[in-house]
Structure 1
Amino acid sequence: MRESVRLSELTTLRVGGPALVAECGSTEALVATVRALDAAGVRVLLLAGGSNLLIDDAGFDGVVVRVGNAGVELGADSVLAEAGANWDEVVATTVAAGFGGLECLSGIPGSAGATPVQNVGAYGVEVAALLRRVRLLDRETGAARWAEPAELGFGYRTSVLKHRDDAVVLAVEFALDPTGASAPLRYGELAKVLGAGEGETRPAADVRTEVLRLRSGKGMVLDTADHDTWSAGSFFTNPVVSADRLPQVLAAIATHLGDAVKVPTYPAPEGTKLSAGWLIERAGFAKGFPDEQAAARLSTKHTLALTNRGTASAADIVALARTVRAGVLDRFGVTLEPEPVTVGLTL
């Protein structure tokens, strides 16, 4: 147990006030700690890599349970990772061992246990397509069990595990390709640099190298010396617009940008997906907004990342998020939804 820990030390946005922290270095410790705190009626905040959290400056009135179980075990065609394992290290381990499948998810900060919670995805690959099972602790019964992907209600950057706390992820298992071939390449920018057609594969190691290069160029690989990486990654999800609202949104875009503008759209189960970054830029928010003196700014490399320039508070991040969201709504009639989980505050 550690008292008065600044949660800014444990999150990639580097904001958040003080809290009592229980460090759990094994699955047994994690389960026992959560059970004991629940039995005592103590508020619990689960925290592992801290890459998808925006925590209030007042901190957390309860106990922050640090998920530190980090075992990784390779099988013949799978990898089993405990919840606290560093995600990129899990990916690197599989690629180095000659397996394919996870390489497009290279460089994503955070823990393995967080990946199914929000159905992490990048460069055309989502966790939902690779997950075999998740081990969950049911906080109501105190029992642990394996859950199948069909139970998790996966959607775009979401699952039934997001925004609820009655289950704790203890471990995850993913399917791998023992031939070392990558997942089919479906993201145009990545396929192009690899000289591949859509749906083709390449050696997983080559794909991982290019993914890390592309992410680094956008400030999306953690680097203590680079404030563009002091973020929660993409702060807003790409909005999905229903079929009945799409003409209205496209008309608003044409009004402000002209009829000839080419709007990037992508099919989605609930309608049409638009690019949040594209909308933010066309609403007048440039990279580095608002200025060099601001404590919280849009990344100088990627407008979808809200960054801490070294002295930002949670309130600074929230103010910037509200400004950007209001600007996009005012200009195009689209409400952007935050991707990070907020604790003790709302946008």
Structure 2
Amino acid sequence: MTTATEPTAPALATLTTLRTGGPAGRYVEVGTADELVAVVRAADEAGEPLLVLGGGSNLVVADDGFPGVVVRDVRRAIAVDEADACGGASVTVAAGTPWGDVVDRAVAEGWVGVEALAGIPGSTGATPVQNVGAYGQEVSGVVATVRVWDRAESRHRVLALGELGFGYRTSVLKHSLRDPDGRPSRWAPSPRYVVLEVGFQLRLGTLSAPVGYGELARRLDVEIGARAPLADVRAAVLELRAAKGMVLDERDPDTWSAGSFFTNPVLPADVADALPAEAPRYPVRSARPERTTGPSLGEVDPTLVKTSAAWLIDRAGFGKGFGLPGPVSLSTKHSLALTNRGQGTTADLLTLARTVRDGVRETFGVELEPEPVLVGVRL
């Protein structure tokens, strides 16, 4: 049995893809779900601030660090519960498992539904929190259950798909980070529900789910709605992401980011109407209790429109590479990624983020919302 270990507390800059952030007050690595629960429970009972860390790809941590306990789940496990032509593949994945491992295994085994989510960094446990999505797929399309430790009730729970409240880049898990008034909840910067395992239900096949994203369809040379070999879709997505600096590369500072820093705004239709005619507009589909842009979660809602944060940023005067030669800048490959060029601090990054956010608001009247979890800082 693996025992939780407490190495010397590192600077969180060494554990996050942005490479910023000061030291942890205490750092623990856990190798079993029971150890993870024990550390979380002890911290909560002691009133100690808690940060549950996966791949560190969606965090912006204060330069002063984090004064509480940082617990990192280092488990890697993908268990096939069942796989047959009728029921598909039922798969249970430990929360600490790198998400890329799940996509690679799915493509190799012929599990359909995550092939367009290749190249997304971070751990599997983080995927349902954010309802990660890309190139026409969202993880909500294949999640069946999420086993969690409920910090409020001090018990294990299994949340079914209908209880997870999936929406565009959100879920019940993420909602628990904030109180109804919008202020950080008592659980922040980790959710009330600590993810232990994620259960997926995937169709079996050699061809992808219908391709729902124009850029990907063009790269594959297929029509929207067509299917393509799983491996081809994965490869095409990795090529597209790499061209935008969205695949981690130790040699490329354009990839030293938290991915997309702002979410694509979902606007009331009348607000979207006020945008320039050339502004991108995408349908929003209704789901209960939330709204989502997922391709299979309800009917198109004519009262809402999604637009492109990258388009707004660029047209507000913040093009690729804005901020260079400073220590932080927009990526030279994609204006939606804020990058640390090697010597940047979190304070530098937030200054740039505020400049971009305020410029978009002044130009278009649209308020951009940050996608990463902010730890010890505010935008």
Using structure 2 for the length normalisation, give the TM-score: 0.86
Write the distance in 1 (CA, Å) between the matches of 2:55 and 2:163: 25
> Which amino acid letter does the alignment assign opposite residue 179 of structure 1?
G
What secondary structure is seen at the aligned counterpart in 2 of 1:133? strand
Note the 1:1-347 alignment, pairs <5 A: 1-19=6-24, 20-74=26-80, 75-76=82-83, 77-163=89-175, 164=177, 165-247=191-273, 249-250=274-275, 253=276, 261-268=277-284, 269=301, 271-291=304-324, 293-347=325-379
More strand by percentage: 2
Write the distance in 1 (CA, Å) between the matches of 2:9 and 2:155: 31
The equivalent residue for 1:258 is none
> Which amino acid letter does the alignment assign opposite residue 231 of structure 2?
A
What are the Cα deviations for residues 59-104 of structure 1, in whole angstroms up to 9, with x where unaligned? 0111011122221112311321110000011110111122221100
- Aligned-pair CA distance for 1:141: 2.7
> Which amino acid letter does the alignment assign opposite residue 320 of structure 1?
L
- Aligned-pair CA distance for 1:297: 0.4
- Aligned-pair CA distance for 1:245: 2.4
Q: Are 2:94 and 2:125, in contact at CA under 8 Å, matched by a contact in 1?
A: yes
- Aligned-pair CA distance for 1:3: 3.4
> Which amino acid letter does the alignment assign opposite residue 241 of structure 1?
L
Q: Are 1:135 and 1:171, in contact at CA under 8 Å, matched by a contact in 2?
A: yes
Write the distance in 2 (CA, Å) between the matches of 1:303 and 1:136: 35
> Which amino acid letter does the alignment assign opposite residue 50 of structure 1?
G
| Structural RMSD (CA) | 1.3
The equivalent residue for 2:287 is none
Q: Are 1:101 and 1:181, in contact at CA under 8 Å, matched by a contact in 2?
A: no
Q: Are 1:181 and 1:204, in contact at CA under 8 Å, matched by a contact in 2?
A: yes
- Aligned-pair CA distance for 1:127: 1.0
Write the distance in 2 (CA, Å) between the matches of 1:93 and 1:179: 13
- Aligned-pair CA distance for 1:27: 1.2
> Which amino acid letter does the alignment assign opposite residue 77 of structure 2?
G
Could you tell me which runs of 5 or more consecutive residues in structure 1 were left unpaired when the two chains were aligned. 254-260
> Which amino acid letter does the alignment assign opposite residue 7 of structure 2?
R
Using structure 1 for the length normalisation, give the TM-score: 0.94
Write the distance in 1 (CA, Å) between the matches of 2:157 and 2:355: 43
Write the distance in 1 (CA, Å) between the matches of 2:31 and 2:63: 26
Write the distance in 1 (CA, Å) between the matches of 2:253 and 2:63: 19
What are the Cα deviations for residues 130-187 of structure 1, in whole angstroms up to 9, with x where unaligned? 1111011111232212111111111111111115222100011112221122121000
Write the distance in 1 (CA, Å) between the matches of 2:47 and 2:316: 46
- Aligned-pair CA distance for 1:23: 0.6
Could you tell me which runs of 5 or more consecutive residues in structure 2 were left unpaired when the two chains were aligned. 1-5, 84-88, 178-190, 285-300
Write the distance in 1 (CA, Å) between the matches of 2:239 and 2:201: 25
